[in-house]
Amino acid sequence: MSHHKIDFINISYSYPDGNKALDDINAHFLHGESVAIVGANGAGKSTMLKLLVGILMPQQGEIRLGDIPVTKKTLNMTRQQIGFTFQDPEDQLFNTSVYDDVAFGPRNYGLEEKEVEKRVVNALRTVGIEHLMHRAPYKLSGGEKRAAAIATVLSMEPSVLAMDEPTSALDPRSRRRLIKLLQGFMHTKLIATHDLDLALELCSRTIVLKEGKIEYDGTTAGIMTNTELLEQCGLEPPLSMQGCPVCGHK
């Protein structure tokens, strides 16, 4: 099975209330790419990721991970390759300890406990919270919860990392640490975000969604200087590219 590409082919999805979240989306992702998916609220960013990991199923079109279509029958296989972090890390933390949360995925796939322990320790060490492995998740700070949620994904050793608003509610120090961590993850990254500074720093490619359609798919540098298109899509340039409100210098 090849995981060197992801394909969204003519994907459409509408929610039960009739809201069309995605409208005939076509996108191709190569192995190792870091891609930001940006857009205003309701543009379809989260829906795109949820379809990729099979939380939702497309009503039209097909998603392929390598040579395998993402369907209900293949979810067990594809979810071992795609690590997904929710916008709210508490949605992924439900056990009595950080260790058990990070061990949940490997245990669920029947790995021996020795291998589970190895993966848990490696994942927690990678995100810098090995010392918190026996802490109850509800006692963690926002940044620590985010790190723990990422560790639950890394313990599965995925080839694709899909993240929904990973910097949401993080303080500047935690945000910087997360960016540094993601820079070290060399596999494919798809990141749905409002944080255009994160996209500029982490992703060489950006997809801009507007009302469920792709308005732009190209270099991140190219879209960040296109203020007219950003405005049309309900976005603003990254803060790092905006002028100082006092003196006007960038």
Residue pair 169/141 in contact (Cβ under 8 Å)? The answer is no
- The model's confidence at residue 241, banded by pLDDT at 50, 70 and 90, is confident
- The structure tokens listed for 51 are 């379809």
- The residue written with tokens 């949605």 in the block is 91
Mean pLDDT across the chain, nearest whole number? 91
**Which CA distances in Å does 130 have to 16, 157, 247?**
42, 17, 44
Average pLDDT of 109-116? 94
Q: What pLDDT does residue 249 have?
A: 55
Average pLDDT of 114-130? 93
- The structure tokens listed for 231 are 């405005």
Structural domains in the chain plus CATH codes: 5-237 (3.40.50.300)
Which helix H or strand E contains 33, and what residues bound it? Answer: none
SS3 content of the chain, % helix, strand, coil (to 5): 40, 25, 35
- The model's confidence at residue 1, banded by pLDDT at 50, 70 and 90, is very low
Residue pair 149/85 in contact (Cβ under 8 Å)? The answer is yes
Average pLDDT of 49-66? 96
Give dist(CA 40, CA 129) in Å, integer: 33
Residue 250 has pLDDT above 70, yes or no: no
Give the tens place of pLDDT for each residue, 176-194: 888 888 888 888 999 999 9
Give dist(CA 13, CA 57) in Å, integer: 8
Give dist(CA 64, CA 48) in Å, integer: 13
Residue 12 has pLDDT above 50, yes or no: yes
Q: What is the pTM of this model?
A: 0.89
- The residue written with tokens 């390598």 in the block is 66
